[in-house]
Amino acid sequence: MERETVLRAARETAVAAAYEAGRLARERFGTLDRYEEKDDHGDIVTEVDHLAEAIILQKIGRVFPDHRIRSEEFGENDRRSDWLWLVDPLDGTNNFAVGMPLFGISITLLHKQMPVMAVIYEPMTDRLYAAGADEGTTCNAKPVRMDRGQIKPLAKARVGWIQGHAVQNEPRAVTLRHYIDVNTKRMMRLWAPTLQWCMLARGDLDGIIVYNSEGEDLYSGLLIAKEAGAAVFDYEGHPFAGTSPQPYLIACHPLHKPYFMQMVQSGLGGLTDTNAGER
């Protein structure tokens, strides 16, 4: 199939899969009586993760049997392809497990390591976000832009913080987190990163700081925010594109880049390289 044909079919498939998986999650919400610990970092998995994942993988596999797929619980299939699907069937599992209605379904398609299509569905609010490279972002088929009103200089920002499971209380992460917390209007940690990216896309957050958080849910949010007008760059200010095994990133409106660069530099005591968390 030609690229345009693939992308059109991919979006239709991802939207249908996200709606069906989301309907399952919504119906099962509040009925969970047990879950499994996945690791020592507090990550968990539930039956709903597996059931939602099966729905999504089946739909993708039926339409694109030759594509690579990497999903949070299943892992990766054995295909070789320039096309790679990333699936997080229940982003925010910890929230779901304790009865907090903050979770979503995340599906991303990459072509030659570049995110080209993304869908995020919030079952409890029935909001479906979709984006394509150079095609903009929509929510329930209506265009979404983060600069809905006049963009003004920030005095204090509303900031989302996203860190990888393995980061935990790494000293430099704690230092940066604390600095952001006390120097902003609000620092938000939802434990459902995709929802924060959607908030940024629609202008309800001013920025997001990513501290070494690579995973199946990252690139859907990045694409949706970018296509809604966000600038995404590393801690040194270089524009970010593609993927990274250890992403240290900032996302915000382009006019607010100096504000967030200064925030991260001050929070890390002037150390701004992307290996800041490893030293």
Please provide residue 139's backbone torsions phi and psi, each rounded to the nearest 5 degrees: -125, 120
- Amino acid at site 42: G
Q: Which CATH class is domain 158-278?
A: alpha beta
Kindly state the percentage of the chain with pLDDT values over 70: 93
pLDDT, mean over the chain? 92
CB 162 within 8 A of CB 196: yes
How confident is the model over 175-204, as pLDDT tens digits?
A: 999 999 999 999 999 999 999 999 999 999
Q: Report the pLDDT value the prediction gives residue 60, as an integer from 0 to 100.
A: 98
Q: What is the mean pLDDT of residues 112-119?
A: 97
SS percent in the chain: helix, strand, coil, step 5: 35, 25, 40
Sequence spans of domains, the chain: 3-144, 158-278
CB 87 within 8 A of CB 215: no
List binding-site positions: 72, 88, 90-91, 217
CB 88 within 8 A of CB 73: no
Q: What is the mean pLDDT of residues 251-267?
A: 96
How confident is the model over 83-94, as pLDDT tens digits?
A: 999 999 999 999
CB 187 within 8 A of CB 209: no
Q: How many CB atoms lie within 10 A of CB 2?
A: 7
List binding-site positions for Mg(2+): 72, 88, 90-91, 217
Q: Which fold has domain 3-144?
A: Fructose-1,6-Bisphosphatase; Chain A, domain 1 (3.30.540)
Alpha-carbon distance 240 to 102, whole Å?
A: 28
Higher-confidence residue of 38 and 154: namely 154
Taking the model in full, what pTM does it have? Answer: 0.92
Place of tokens 């790679």: 84
Listed in sequence order, the residues at least 6 apart from 162 whose beta carbon sits closer than 8 Å to its beta carbon are: 189, 193, 196, 208, 209, 210, 211, 213
Q: What is the mean pLDDT of residues 49-74?
A: 96
Alpha-carbon distance 95 to 233, whole Å?
A: 29
**Strand locations in the chain (E):** 36-37, 44-45, 68-71, 75-76, 83-91, 104-111, 114-122, 127-132, 136-139, 142-144, 158-163, 186-188, 207-211, 231-234, 248-252
